[in-house]
Chains A and B, each alone.
Chain A
Amino acid sequence: MARAFYWLVPHPFMTLLLTLVWTILQNQVSAGMIVFGLILGIVIPWTTSIWWPDTPRGFRLGKMTTYSVMVLWDILVANIEVAWIVLTVSNAKLKPAWIVVPLELRQPEAITVLAGTITLTPGTVSADLSDEGHSLLVHVLHTDDPDAVRDDIKTRYERRLQEIFS
C-alpha cells in the first residue's frame, strides 16, 4: 500500500504545494480548481520523478512551519540591521569577512534550505560550497567576531534543520 502510494505520489509535499499554488493562482476557491490543481500536483511530480531520485523521507512539516516563522522574523530584523549598516557605517570602517561553516547536514535539500536562510538573514550571504559538500562559505558584511557569527548559524539554523530533515 505504501509502495503504491509512493509510486503514484513520489513527492507528497510537492503535490500539496503545487495544488496550493494553483489554487492561489486562480484567485478564487472552487472545488473544480482544487481538483484540477490536485491532478496537476500528481501528474507533474510523477512525470518528472526521474530527475528527483531521492525524496527526503523524514520531513517534519510542523517544525518546518515554526522554522519558517522564525526565519521570517529574522529577515525583518536583518533588513533593519543591514539598512542601519548601509546608512551609518562608512566604507573605511566596514569589516567584511569570510567565514567557513562546517556542515553536519548531509541531505542536499537541507543544505539548500540552510544556504537560502543564510542569504536572507542578518548580514550574511552564502557564497560557495566545498567540492565534497562538507563546508559552506559565507560572506559577512560587517562583524567584529566572525566565530560568533559561525556559531550562531550552527546553533540557530543548522540544529533546527537537522531536526526537520532527520
Chain B
Amino acid sequence: MTMEIIATYAAALCLLIGSFFVIVGVIGLLKFNDPMTRLHAPTKVGTVGIGMLLLASMIHSFVVGDASLHELLIMAFLFVTAPISAHFIAKVAIHRRACDMPPPPPRDDMWATLNSPED
C-alpha cells in the first residue's frame, strides 16, 4: 500500500518535471527570433520533457500491475529521430539563407547543403 502511494507521488513528480521542460521548450520556441536559435529549445528540452512524461507513464503502469516497457522504445526512437529532424530543419534554414551564413569549411570546398545545382 505504501509502495503504491510512493509510486503515485513519483509519477506525479515526473509529470510535473516533464511538463515544466515542455513549457520551457515552447517558451524558447516563441521567444527567440532566429530560426537556428529557435531550433535549440524544442530539440533538447523536448527530449527530457517527453522522457519524464513517459517515465511517469511507466511508473503508473507498474503500480496498476499492467507492466509495460513500450515507453522505453518510444524514448529510444525519439532519441534517434530528434537529431535527424533538427538536422533537416537546420539544413533548410541554411539552404534558404534564413539565418546568418556559416563560415566556409577549412578543408573542403563548401557545405553539403550549399552545394546545389541551381546556385
Contacts from A to B (Cβ < 8 Å):
21, 24-25, 27, 75-76, 78-79, 82-83, 86-87, 91, 94, 96, 98, 100, 102, 115-116, 118-121, 123, 125-135, 137, 139, 141
Contacts from B to A (Cβ < 8 Å):
20-21, 24-25, 27-28, 31-34, 36-37, 39-41, 43-45, 47-49, 67-70, 72-73, 79-80, 82-84, 86-87, 90-91, 93-94, 100, 102-103, 105-113, 115
Taking a contact as CB atoms under 8 Å apart, the answer to whether B112 and A79 are in contact is no
How far is it, in angstroms, between the C-alpha of A129 and the C-alpha of B39 when the chains are bound?
18
Q: Which residues of A sit under 8 angstroms from B83, Cβ to Cβ? A: 115-116, 118-120, 126
Q: Which residues of A sit under 8 angstroms from B67, Cβ to Cβ? A: 27
Q: How far is the CB of B68 from chain A (nearest CB, A)?
A: 6
In the assembled complex, 9 residue pairs joining A and B whose CB atoms fall closer than 8 Å, in A order, are A27-B67, A27-B68, A75-B48, A87-B27, A102-B106, A115-B83, A119-B43, A119-B87, A134-B108
How far is it, in angstroms, between the C-alpha of A46 and the C-alpha of B4 when the chains are bound?
46
Q: Which 6 A-B pairs have the closest CB atoms?
A: A119-B83, A127-B90, A130-B105, A130-B108, A86-B28, A79-B48
Q: Which residues of B sit under 8 angstroms from A24, Cβ to Cβ? A: 69-70, 72-73
Q: Which residues of A sit under 8 angstroms from B87, Cβ to Cβ? A: 115, 119, 125-127
How far is it, in angstroms, between the C-alpha of A131 and the C-alpha of B32 when the chains are bound?
30
Taking a contact as CB atoms under 8 Å apart, the answer to whether B105 and A82 are in contact is no
Q: Which residues of B sit under 8 angstroms from A128, Cβ to Cβ? A: 90-91, 94, 102, 111-113
Choose among A100, A115, A127 the residue that contacts B103 (Cβ–Cβ < 8 A). Answer: A100
How far is it, in angstroms, between the C-alpha of A128 and the C-alpha of B102 when the chains are bound?
10
Q: Which residues of B sit under 8 angstroms from A27, Cβ to Cβ? A: 67-70
If A100-B103, A115-B87 touch, does A125 touch B108 (CB 8 Å cutoff)?
Answer: no
Choose among B40, B70, B106, B111 the residue that contacts A131 (Cβ–Cβ < 8 A). Answer: B111
Taking a contact as CB atoms under 8 Å apart, the answer to whether A102 and B21 are in contact is no
